[in-house]
Amino acid sequence: EEEEEEEDALNPPPNPWEVLPPAQQEETSSIFHLPKTKGYPPPEEYALLEQFVANSVQSQHLKPSNGEEEKRYEEAARGYHALLDLIRLRDDAMALRNTLLAMRTSCFASSTTAGGGESVLHTIACRGDRRVHARLIHYILRMNPFKPHTKELKKLHDAFIINTVATKKSLKKKTPSKSKIQERKLMYQNIILPYIDSSLPDAYLHLLVAFTSANPVFLTGVIKQLWTLLQDRTFGGGRGEWKDLVEYNYNDGEQKEEGEEKKEDRMHVLDMQRAQRIHATLATILRLCPRGNTEIFSILASGFPFKLTSLDDQVWYAKQCLSVLRYVPTIQGAVLGLLLDKALEIDVEIKVEEGGGVAIEIDDEEDEEDEMAGLFELEMGDDKKAKKENSVVEDVKVDDMADKLDSIMLLVFQHLSACCKNDVTAPKRLYKIMSPVFDSNILTTHRCKFVQFVMFVICGFDNDISAIHHNNNHIATSDSHDNDDGEHHQSKLYREFAAKLIDIVLDPYRATVTRQSAACYLASFMSRASYVCPETICESVSAMLRWAEAYMDTFPKPRMSSANDTNSGISSSRPRNGMNNMREQCEMHSLFYTVCQAAYYTMCFRGVEATQYFN
């Protein structure tokens, strides 16, 4: 055992925080810190509540032996069902908050025959017969502590409207007494205050942490529940009612005319506070149960919104995925790959037409549906109107999809920029992370037009950092050091990326389509990236042209027909299926034509620099 302890001390387990710089680790641990619970009732009242919770839970494990115990058992069993209804219906926020607090802290009396001195939470989570509390656990893991139940919210709003009308009438007639005004304020503030001041959410989130700590079996279920709560940004169909009640609380029970924009900003603040608390809970749970670091990504990937969902939902979800990387940096590559996958789904649907316009590429099934809809419209005799409406709808759809693609790519670029801001090694690390994503997803995707710029951006960050580093060394060091650093300065990521693409183009074991895509990406990268040096351009073009020459040398040179052959009619005897032969030749030598076009394309944009460098 001593040897094992010494070995463990010498080889500690990997820490997921090691990926982050020390300053960022401190910042992350302070941001994602779950606040302490508040709103505890007076000690005497809280002690009675703890006893009630303990007796209710204990009633599911004891069998009465006499009449007196049977009465106590029935009373405790009724309390247990009341506990279930309270969590399921959420019709009393204050009582619910206090009950959740008591569930985490209450213990059985030491004199009892079952579970003496044991905590109630441990009994619910860890006892072998925990199926007894399956409904209770289910209700807890499906509860939303950030807003009232939909039915309860509707009742609250209806009562709020009635009270508002009554208050306005009384103000017109006479000034109401201070006690009545205070009574009306408390009537609604007490009902929704546990939601607004986050005392109910904090009690619930601490209970989830305690559940997971008591029994890691609940780890996956708790992470799924927290991630579901994080997605519920719009509060369902009750956002309007909830907004009115929130405003009433913020204005201290008074009716104030405020702009819709200010109200939405306040709701956005609530959303951000809720998201920060949920992320803090996730970070706490993952620190207690590191196994969750390997499970959280599958939950993130399975819940990503479909590409046709609203822009706000897409952006919100992508932001939350990137926020997870601040406390689980080990899944950075997987999360960035997920976001780029979703961007690719939108990218391939946006078709750039010859005139510069854009359109959405529609699937075959959608084509059939549109065809049937068109037939129906023809029968109705409303042809021109339908075409105009379809055109407007398609324009809106193109703009909507383009906005989604732009927003996701912007978030990815902002994340990459933040990573590279104070870390000179970040571009190389990000390149290693994104290189497999480029190989497996981007390079093999047909009609990808925009997502590949992620590699362009990473190489650009590396070039900027290298240039700053080189200039600083040039000022501070001697000429000998300058020469050494100059060699390092030439060893940039863009050269590595160009060499990678050239290797793919020249690899005979790769699929032809993949090699063609690599040639196209190489030409585009060389042409668009102004930071690529002329030496790299010359090397890339030279590699492509040498391959093209070697490819031509593998075929016998065609016999040139002379004028005599033409006049004597020899050529006229050959079959004249020129278009078919040309198409077959293009298909057979498609890689050759693509490589040649890539070289020509590069020279069109960077030919002057390349020629000057060559000379």
Distance CA 166, CA 40 (A): 34
Give the 3-state secondary structure of residue 1.
coil
pLDDT tens-digit profile of 400-411? 888 999 999 999
Q: Look at residue 26 in the predicted model and tell me its pLDDT.
A: 47
Query: How far is CA 326 from each of CA 180, 211, 323, 330, 429, rounded to the nearest angstrom?
Result: 49, 24, 6, 10, 16
Q: Look at residue 326 in the predicted model and tell me its pLDDT.
A: 92
The letter for the amino acid at 389 is E
* CA 192 and chain centroid, separation: 30
Model confidence, pTM? 0.78
Distance CA 395, CA 357 (A): 10
Q: Look at residue 70 in the predicted model and tell me its pLDDT.
A: 77
Please check the confidence at residue 253 and state whether its pLDDT lies above 50: no
How many CA atoms within 13 Å lie on the side-chain side of 298? 7
Q: Look at residue 470 in the predicted model and tell me its pLDDT.
A: 64
Give the percent of the chain with pLDDT over 90: 41
Please check the confidence at residue 533 and state whether its pLDDT lies above 60: yes
Give the mean model confidence (pLDDT) for residues 361-389: 47
Q: Are the C-beta atoms of 527 and 597 separated by less than 8 Å?
A: no
Torsion sign (Cα): 179, 184, 185, 190: positive
Distance CA 411, CA 413 (A): 5
Burial (0-12, 13-18, 19+ Cβ within 10 Å), 221: middle
Average pLDDT, the chain: 77
Q: In this structure, what token pair is assigned to residue 94?
A: 């204050």
381: left (phi over 0), alpha (psi -120 to 50) or beta: left
Q: Are the C-beta atoms of 504 and 518 separated by less than 8 Å?
A: yes
Distance CA 97, CA 101 (A): 6
- Under the banding of pLDDT at 50, 70 and 90, the label for residue 475 is low
Name 360's bridge partners.
Answer: 350
- Under the banding of pLDDT at 50, 70 and 90, the label for residue 474 is low
DSSP single-letter state for residue 355: T
Distance CA 409, CA 339 (A): 8
- Under the banding of pLDDT at 50, 70 and 90, the label for residue 368 is very low
Element (H, E) at 349: none
Give the 3-state secondary structure of residue 129.
coil
Q: Look at residue 356 in the predicted model and tell me its pLDDT.
A: 57
Q: Look at residue 58 in the predicted model and tell me its pLDDT.
A: 87
pLDDT tens-digit profile of 67-107? 667 777 888 889 999 999 999 988 888 899 999 999 999 88
Going by C-beta distance under 8 Å and a sequence separation of 6 or more, which residues neighbour residue 310?
A: none
* Pairing state between β 350-352 and 358-360: antiparallel
DSSP single-letter state for residue 63: -
Give the mean model confidence (pLDDT) for residues 25-38: 67
Q: b/e string for 324-348 if b means 16 or more Cβ within 10 A? A: bbbbbbbbbbbbbbbbbbbbbbbbe
Domain range list for the chain: 151-199+217-306
pLDDT tens-digit profile of 334-356? 999 999 999 999 998 887 766 65
List own/partner pairs for 542-550 with CB under 8 A and 24 or more apart. 543/502, 543/505, 543/506, 544/502, 544/505, 544/519, 544/595, 544/596, 544/598, 544/599, 545/599, 547/505, 547/506, 547/595, 548/592, 548/595, 548/596, 548/599
Q: Are the C-beta atoms of 497 and 455 separated by less than 8 Å?
A: yes
Q: b/e string for 76-109 if b means 16 or more Cβ within 10 A? A: beebbeebbebbbebbebeebbbbbbbbbbbbbe
Distance CA 437, CA 412 (A): 14
Q: Which has the closest alpha carbon to 279: 39, 29, 16, 24?
A: 29
